[in-house]
Amino acid sequence: MISLTKPEQAGELAAALARGAGRAWALPSHSKSKMLERIARGIESDSEGFARLIVEEVAKPLKEARREVSRAAFTFDWASEEAKRFGGELLPLDLDLNTEGRFALTRRFPRGPALFITPFNFPLNLVAHKVAAAIAVGVPWALKPAPQAPRTAERLGELILEAGWPKECMAVVSCSNELAEGLVRDPNFGVLSFTGSDKVGWHLKSVAGKKHAILELGGNAAAYVAPDADLAWAAARIAWGAFYYSGQVCISVQRVLVHAKVYEPFKEMLLKNISELVIGEPGDERTDIGPLISEESAKRVEAWIQEAVSAGGRLLAGGRRQGRLIFPTLVENVPSHAKLSCQEAFGPVATIEPVDSRERALERIGEGGFGLQAGLFTNDLKGVFDAWNRVPVGGLILNDIPAFRSDAMPYGGVRDSGTGREGVRYAMEELTERRTLVLRP
């Protein structure tokens, strides 16, 4: 890991990566594919070590840490496949008399070195989504990992070097926020890819100059349960989706909207599922709910719960804090102006309320500025397509929670939740730009 302590070091690093761009781009597809496959095998061979390191650094429950490690290996495997098939197009241009005999070739070229800034909550797989895509398209990169999880990123960096990626085409960086902003401003970087809070992300975009910006930001995701839904399935999934890793996930279920016809039986099922969640130490294989990343975060979430109750919300479960631990909390009928309704809680707390129609549910999902993902539990396919047309979110998940994500699918938000898309192939497109060659034989 490179430690930056002076502003001039940031500029030197960016310039060095720019000099290495030609070597990264010149790597053949088969070579990049094999490197990515070797990285995936390296992660798998040390899967338990990675999982235990994630537990140690960010207090993620062990079973969730293991799942993250497995996903990261898949991400590199998928990038290995995409590296072999990422191509362009042949376009006929003989569409009128003026363009007879011509055709066009398109190909994607790197925008330039990429700067990656990642959060603590998925210290391996969110890094993998950025780095794997960069390797697949031959883009040099600098990674500034979350300060809470430097060793996870450093260990992954070692695997990447062992797999054969050129040392001069990568850097894992430790630095202050001030110096990180200096990297963002540096014109040698062609891309900024940031995952984190909306406030920080939009600020960085404002100082990034002409860089292409990919922002994966926050949300306050909603799930709607319709009268025809499988209530038991919906309750089980929402209980998990609202509270896994103590809600420290940007697509965690924060708002639960339930049709009035099934509200009471669904609420009873959901509370039962919540009561069965295991609270304990992150290193215990049985633990579902552990401590938050810091006591400061726990105190903030506690204050938001108290505000929601004071504003008229009814506490149905949890609400207690013990150091960094917030017990799984469900609050009923929280006013729309309370922080739990309109901001990102990033903690083990969800709201629940009845709605009298699908139309009202869609209105509630779309309220506020966020637009990352939402979940619909229903078998009304016509209603699903209507929701897809109307709800301003980057991803709409049918009969599952908004916390669902396949590492192969396009992922990202709209409005305050960001711009651009990840998911390996889609990140590869974001890191590159299309160029056209017109031929007249």
418: nearest Cα among 406, 433, 428, 430: 430
Write the DSSP assignment of 238-281 as a string of letters. Answer: HHHHHHGGGG-STT---EEEEEGGGHHHHHHHHHHHHHTPPB--
How many angstroms separate the CA atoms of 49 and 158, rounded?
14
The whole-number pLDDT of residue 441 equals 80
The mean pLDDT value of the chain amounts to 97
How many angstroms separate the CA atoms of 270 and 354, rounded?
14
Q: Residue 366: is it exposed, middle or buried by C-beta count within 10 angstroms (0-12/13-18/19+)?
A: middle
Q: Residue written as tokens 């499988």?
A: 230
Q: Whole-model pTM?
A: 0.96
To the nearest 10 degrees (0 to 180), the angle between helices 29-45 and 125-137 is 160
Ranges of residues in the chain with a pLDDT under 70 are none
**Active site members:** 216, 250
Cβ-Cβ contacts under 8 Å for 381 (sequence gap 6 or more)? none
Beta sheet of 373-377, edge-to-edge order: 314-317, 329-332, 349-355, 255-259, 222-225, 373-377, 395-398
The whole-number pLDDT of residue 138 equals 98
Would you state the torsion angle of the CA atoms of residues 297, 303, 306, 308, taken in this order, to the nearest 10 degrees? -80
What residue type is assigned to position 42 of the chain? G
The whole-number pLDDT of residue 306 equals 98
Domains of the chain (ranges plus CATH)?
A: 2-217+414-439 (3.40.605.10), 222-398 (3.40.309.10)
What residue type is assigned to position 395 of the chain? G
